[in-house]
Amino acid sequence: MARIHLIGTGGTIASRAQTEGGPVTAGLTAQSLLAGLHDPLTGIEVSAESFQAKGSYALDLATVFRLCRRIDDVLADPSIDGVVVTHGTDTMEESAYLAYLLVSSDKPVVFTGAQRHAGEADTDGPRNIAEAIRAAACNALTGAGATICFEGEIHSARHVTKFHSSRVDTFRSPGFGKLGDVDGPNVHVTRLNSAKRKIFTPAQIDPDVELMLLGLGSRADFLSWAVANGASGVVLAAFGRGNAPVGFAQAAADAIKKGVPVLVASRCPEGRTMPIYGNDSGGRTLDDAGVIFAGDLPPVKTRLLLAVLLGSGYQIEEIRRYIVGFGEANPDGSE
């Protein structure tokens, strides 16, 4: 019999409206979520604990770091075969990606949640939990790193993102596709990452990495302001292949001279960055300024990777060598 441990962290799946039409807030325990399952989990024994009952929009890097350490502690028990984490969907892809980078065990770690809160008649929470538990009990996911199981689909934390603000089929992996499906009691894994993931063991995650979404005519003053006010690193969510508005190349060069790494990721949901265009501040100009290109890693996950690298003591050139060493298409060493 497989043994799976459920860790509850709040989110929509653990939330209800306290009054009709009132605000929805988290508060249900992991044990109550487990008690509310509709499907029998034949051949699987499940234990549960509540970690922190918050909406995922209220979490921070230090809390998720503690969550990852707790997951590793649980999986160190040889009698536990996998972990399921219930989590709010707003930042689930970020917490799952941190688990992908930080959890050292190869046992399955599966995140799930809900788009419809527990007080709604058609809440999707109970089915998602049951399917995530089945996925966590699947030996085929051993070594895959953290995943998200949602609406019957299993996605790698490395590639998945929340696509729709409210639909129940919100999670997708643009350009890569899902790893598999849960179909009733059966789990079908049809694709796995071909490269072994890099696992980090920092004492903490650097909390001071900033992310800037660039738009038409955005001012480079914001990059300079962030550096002047204590940012340890900056990620630019830039245009296309990795281009920025006028002034960003000089502002990035100034930041890098002060020891603050500047990384560029693309706003586009598919494709990779590559320094091609010249002039101020095309990708080639940014590259000449010392900016590091993040390949196909999305901006929010590039920020998390940089926060982990800085927390691990990496300096700018070590960060550059690490990312370039795996190829700009694979900045975390994965597929």
Which of 161, 189, 217 terminates a domain? The answer is 189
Question: CA dihedral defined by 125, 113, 68, 191, rounded to 10 degrees?
Answer: 100
Tell me which residue of 150, 144, 156, 147 sits closest to 182, measured CA to CA: 150
* pLDDT band per the 50, 70, 90 thresholds, residue 28: confident
Put simply, whether the predicted model's pTM sits higher than 0.85 gets the answer yes
Q: Is 332 inside any structural domain?
A: no
Same-domain status, 182 and 235: no
Which pLDDT score is estimated for 330? 64
Same-domain status, 228 and 278: yes
Q: Is 335 inside any structural domain?
A: no
63 is catalytic: no
Same-domain status, 168 and 26: yes
Beta bridge partners of 2: 44
Which pLDDT score is estimated for 38? 87
Question: CA dihedral defined by 281, 296, 172, 150, rounded to 10 degrees?
Answer: -120
Q: Is 29 inside any structural domain?
A: yes
12 is catalytic: yes
Tell me which residue of 136, 169, 168, 173 sits closest to 158, measured CA to CA: 173
The predicted model gives 147-163 an average pLDDT of 97
Of 89, 123, 161, 285, catalytic: 89
Which pLDDT score is estimated for 120? 87
Tell me which residue of 199, 197, 205, 198 sits closest to 313, measured CA to CA: 205
Of 9, 12, 123, 285, catalytic: 12
- Residue 145: which domain range? 2-189
* pLDDT band per the 50, 70, 90 thresholds, residue 105: very high
Which of 189, 217, 234 terminates a domain? The answer is 189
The predicted model gives 285-304 an average pLDDT of 97
Q: Is 91 inside any structural domain?
A: yes
Q: Cα separation of 325 and 321, whole Å? A: 5
Contact (Cβ atoms closer than 8 angstroms) between residue 181 and residue 141: no
Higher pLDDT, 205 or 196: 205
Q: Is 120 inside any structural domain?
A: yes
User: pLDDT by residue (tens digit) across 262-283?
Assistant: 999 999 999 999 999 999 999 9
Same-domain status, 14 and 118: yes
The label of the residue with tokens 């979404």 reads 213
The number of folded domains in the chain is: 2
Which pLDDT score is estimated for 26? 82
Same-domain status, 242 and 144: no
